[in-house]
Every structure is written in structure tokens, then in C-alpha cells.
Amino acid sequence: MWKEEDNKLVRSFEFENFIQAFGFMTQIAIQAEKVNHHPWWSNVYNQVSIKLSTHDAGDIVTQKDRDLASAIDQIYAKYQ
């Protein structure tokens, strides 16, 4: 589940392997580019950590972040 911490939506995801984690990130990248809203993220082997905030609004959580978080959840559901 997403948590709001330090004016960011934060969530970590775990996969079976690096290929799945990277594929997940690739699908997010395509969606993020479509909506011109890009996450902060990190990846180590099978784990992906994501933080969302809206820079144009002063680095706070906005509807853009909630919408992208929802899209990310839908992508992640394919891996479950």
C-alpha cells in the first residue's frame, strides 16, 4: 500500500527476479511519459522503491501523484 511520508507517496515492490522488476519499471516509464509525470525510484535486484510528488506544486502530493500511483498499482497487479 502507498503511504504518505514527507510530502511524498511512497511504496516498495518485490518481484521474483531482476527481469520482472525491470519490466515493471519499463511499463511505468511508458505510462509516466504519457502523462508527463515522472517518479523518483530505485531498483536493487528484485526490489523497486518509488516516491511520488509533484515538483511544480512545491514537491507535495497532488492528484497527479495519486493517479500515477493507481496506474502503478494496476501494472503491479499483473505480476501477482
What pTM did the predictor assign? Answer: 0.93
Long-range own/partner contacts, residues 69-77 (CB < 8 A, 24 or more apart): 69/2, 69/9, 69/11, 71/28, 71/31, 71/35, 72/11, 72/28, 72/31, 72/39, 73/2, 75/24, 75/27, 75/28, 75/31, 76/13, 76/24
The domain 3-77 is placed in CATH, from the list 3.40.50.720, 3.40.50.300, 3.30.1360.20, 3.40.190.10, at: 3.30.1360.20
Residue 5, all three cell numbers: 511520508
Residue percentage of the chain with pLDDT more than 70 = 100
* pLDDT over threshold 90, residue 24: yes
- Average pLDDT for 7-27: 97
* pLDDT over threshold 90, residue 22: yes
pLDDT at 55: 87
C-beta of residue 69 within 8 angstroms of C-beta of residue 11:
yes
